[in-house]
Chain A
Amino acid sequence: MVRRRFSFGLVSRLSSPIYGRSPCSGGIWTPCLGQKRSFMTAKDLVESEEPEKKVTNRINMFSAINQALHTVLDSDPKSYVFGEDVGFGGVFRCTTALRDKFGRHRVFNTPLCEQAIVGFGIGLASMGNRAIAEIQFADYIFPALDQIVNEAAKYRYRSGNLFNCGGLTVRAPYGAVGHGGHYHSQSPEAFFCHVPGIKVVIPRSPSQAKGLLLASIRDPNPVVFFEPKWLYRLAVEEVPVDDYTLPLSSAEVMRKGSDITLVGWGAQLAIMEEACDEVSKLGISCELIDLRTLIPWDKELVEDSVNKTGRLLVSHEAPVTGGFGAEIAASITNSCFLRLQAPVSRVCGLDTPFPLVFEPFYMPTKNKVSMIQHSKHTNCRISFQSMCG
């Protein structure tokens, strides 16, 4: 009997066989802009030592993140949360009630200056504090890119371990939301994955978000934590109320399969799960892996999986050229070349700026993923037109 880490309720247990489970039993289905995205809870098949029965609350992602921040500020008196508009709760309500509980000296608003926010956070962290900086949207993180790349990532290295800014965590909502347009939908994780010295962490669900955020904040390295904004309200799950962390640099197998390995992160996993369900009707058994930490990423787990299945498909919202899927593809091709039965596929966003009205065409939707899965398996070519929509 495989022990599950969290209990998702009696219904899901009864309705699911060992490996499969019915979709939507733990999640909420909400259509958005004609594009159906549903959040589904992922079952864990990883063995763990934690007891099965935990006290959980059914909450959404921003509440889970809020709980994590409350926990951190409670446990460590030298931790601070700051950013634009965090005082009243933030534009996504992730920082609700923090200022009232912990005071204006620990939870405070900053003016509109991303570079200064991150730079200030680096300074604070280098004095041994936990600085949790919020960038309001990941699209606005670029003024701070210099600080993250040139200061945060290199601080320990250039000072010969005399100083470090490990207490820095930069949180930013990223990803498409259905109507975000150019500057509220970008996925800039690839820019940060190119920087040795920082970690990039992306959760896929409320329970993952809480555990990963607590781990990121407590990790003695600077972490950029991207939160999929589409899932803030949409994703609802049973989240344990206590303080727990999930390991960084450890990927997770969401469902086991034998025909093809799919790797993704964040909100894209929900799309990939739907695609997996669709192609399983055709008899294709998919192994779905959530990378969780993008750098340093869990190469061993992905390699083991690809060695088992022989095929790999990576999917992310960011444009395909130069996205993090490229790194995974190159790495796996290098290590599993003789085992691969088909080239590595990347089903990603298009190489255009994130569009306004064309978002449904740009996004790597379920149909695109399932088509490629099918083609991987049957090795047939598919035209672009049939893939859209």
Chain B
Amino acid sequence: MAKRMQGIMESIQTLCSGDHGNEGFMQDDEDEEEENGVGRLTSWAELLGFGLAVFSEAIAPQLQCFCDRTLGFAVGQGGSREAWIKAVAMAMSLVRKAVKKGWVGALAPAARVMSQALSTASEPITLDIPVPFKAHKVETPSVTVETSAQELTNFFKTMFIMRRMEIAADSLYKSKFIRGFCHLYDGQEAVCVGMEAALNDKDCIITAYRDHCTHLGRGGSVLEVFAELMGRKDGCSLGKGGSMHMYNKKGGFYGGNGIVGAQTPLGAGLAFAQKYLKVEGVTLAMYGDGAANQGQLFEAMNISALWNLPVIYVCENNHYGMGTAEWRSAKSPEYYKRGDYIPGLKVDGMDCLAVKQAVKYAKEYALQNGPMVLEMDTYRYHGHSMSDPGSTYRTRDEISGVRQERDPIERIRKLLLSNNIATVAELKTMEKEAKKEVEDALSKAKESPSPDSDELFTHVYRKGYGAKAYGADRKEVVVKLP
């Protein structure tokens, strides 16, 4: 049997190289449809599902017959051991005959479809980045970037999910499911999605409080984000952190920090650990244009340059630090130059591909030479947080202007349509699926329970190493910290 399977696989391989062979049992017009549909299969799951569907369609009658004869025989004979042995022998002879007759031919269209779809999906597409990079003490990376249909579609899907998630968080806050503070990332999705395309799981990210989408990018799920926002048990930080404190250990996402600028020296420390342990990864320490004026950032830059740490300082410049425009808070709003002795790049942060290119370039640089600063020129549509309408310090025209001209999702949509990677209908389907995914996660998160009241005392110190904590009255209440 193994030899037969090997034979079948070899014939698939020869077919993949372009040989058509016996058409098998497929109709001609169906075949054509499959060929046209090739360009639209971009995910592995889809490919496999489609291939199997084709295959099973092709051999369904034969498979039916095969099962009838072999199993029917065995059962008819009473299901005894001898009957089953005879049935297996019969099956093997049937397969031998079928192979001779051309069963293999039925695999041909399926194999061809799959191979063509695969090659198209991962075929490199070369695109030019429209907005050029600006460099400080370093060469600019090339504006020609290689991507693929699969990558672009993933960009679209991920950014759309992020956008829907942030908008859902907005309405959740307004209906008081989320209390406290909620800082939304919509408009800036291209930064984290583009970054993820250039990073792997050996790299670490640490950011400030606008972290919902960064958490998703690092491997978190929408359910975890929603549950954490609502302070429920299923949240990524067990409901104890909230909007500003999302972490993901496996994905190397170190949060989620409330005090601006405080995360940059932490990022330098993470990079030191990576360098020391020879992990071949970099740390991206992200901060905003408001935090760019904090002293801690310059201290971190100094030590990372002194010790050549593989850290990339990513300034997400959305031009407003809460309500203060960048020109009113910074003498030099050219944040990529603020590293002074650290080289920097200014990147169009609304273009996934530009971000990907820049981060790839910076990663190579950081692993060899030390820190680098990337300034992502981006924009947020919402205000600083949910209590900020966002229109007292900027005009609505400005917001809608950016939304029309520079929206990251629209940009990818145009690329997908112009490069014939997807049709309008398919994009709509993807959007619908994304919306459904977000809604499902939302309803599931709403059902999640609040953390137990014991959780108030857990994780203050390491389990078992904590001292006692006195409660409201130091003498009356003693709680041993778990």
Contact = CB atoms under 8 A, between A and B. Distances in A.
B75 interface: no
A115 B294 CA distance: 9
A112 B294 contact: yes
A346 B294 contact: no
Interface residues of B, number: 46
Interface in B424-482: 450-451, 453, 455-457, 460, 469-477, 479
Contacts of A388: 453
B210 interface: no
Nearest to A352: B460
B231 A346 contact: no
B450 A357 contact: yes
Interface stretch (B216-224, B324-332, B349-357): B324-332
Contact of B453 (A113, A361, A372, A382): A361
Contact of A182 (B245, B324, B330): B245
B244 A351 contact: no
Interface string B283-317: 00000001101111000000000000000000000
B261 A362 contact: no
Nearest to A387: B472
Interface string A176-197: 0011111110000000000000
A57 interface: no
A368 B295 contact: no
Contacts of B21: none
B239 interface: yes
Contacts of A182: 242, 244-245, 258
A184 B475 CA distance: 29
A356 B479 contact: no
B318 to A, nearest CB: 14
A357 B180 CA distance: 10
Contact of B180 (A85, A113, A180, A348): A180
Interface string A328-353: 00000000000000010111111111
A181 B477 contact: no
Nearest to B453: A361
Contact residues on A (Cβ < 8 Å of other chain), bracket: 35 or more
B244 A345 contact: no
A142 B261 CA distance: 13
A357 B233 CA distance: 11
Contacts of A181: 180-181, 242, 244, 258
A350 B181 contact: no
A384 to B, nearest CB: 4
A140 interface: yes
Interface in B88-102: none
Given A85-B324, A368-B472, A356 B260 contact: no
A180 B324 CA distance: 22
B476 A346 contact: no
A140 B476 contact: no
A112 B329 contact: yes
B141 interface: no
Nearest to A367: B472
A179 B455 contact: no
B323 A140 contact: no
Nearest to A382: B476
A358 B479 CA distance: 16
B396 interface: no
Contacts of B451: 357-358
A364 interface: yes
A357 B456 CA distance: 9
Interface in B146-186: 179-181
Contacts of A184: 180-181
A357 B477 contact: no
Contacts of B259: 139-140, 142, 183
A375 interface: yes
Contacts of B453: 358, 361, 388
A51 interface: no
Interface in B230-256: 231, 239-242, 244-245
Contacts of B472: 320, 346-350, 364, 368, 372, 384, 387
Contacts of A351: 460, 469-470
Given A112-B261, A116-B295, A372 B329 contact: no
B476 A381 contact: yes
A178 B181 CA distance: 12
Given A180-B180, A357-B231, A364-B472, A88 B460 contact: no
Contact of B260 (A112, A349, A355, A364): A112
Contact of B323 (A88, A115, A178, A364): A88
Given A351-B469, A352-B460, A357-B239, A384 B477 contact: yes
A115 B295 contact: yes
A113 B475 contact: no
Contacts of A384: 471-472, 476-477, 479
A109 interface: yes
A179 B469 contact: no
A137 B258 CA distance: 12
Interface of B: 179-181, 231, 239-242, 244-245, 258-261, 290-291, 293-296, 321-324, 328-330, 392-393, 450-451, 453, 455-457, 460, 469-477, 479
Given A350-B469, A352-B457, 17 more contacts: A84-B322, A109-B328, A111-B324, A112-B260, A112-B291, A113-B293, A113-B295, A139-B258, A320-B471, A320-B474, A345-B474, A345-B475, A349-B472, A352-B460, A372-B472, A372-B473, A384-B471
Interface of A: 33, 84-85, 88, 109, 111-113, 115-116, 139-140, 142-143, 178-184, 320-321, 343, 345-353, 355-358, 361-362, 364, 368, 372, 375, 381-382, 384, 387-388
Closest 4 pairs (CB-CB, A-B): A351-B469, A183-B258, A111-B293, A357-B231
29 contacts: A88-B392, A109-B324, A109-B329, A112-B321, A142-B259, A179-B179, A182-B244, A182-B245, A183-B244, A184-B180, A320-B470, A320-B471, A320-B472, A320-B474, A321-B470, A349-B472, A350-B457, A352-B469, A353-B460, A356-B180, A356-B239, A357-B231, A358-B456, A372-B472, A372-B473, A384-B471, A384-B472, A384-B479, A387-B476
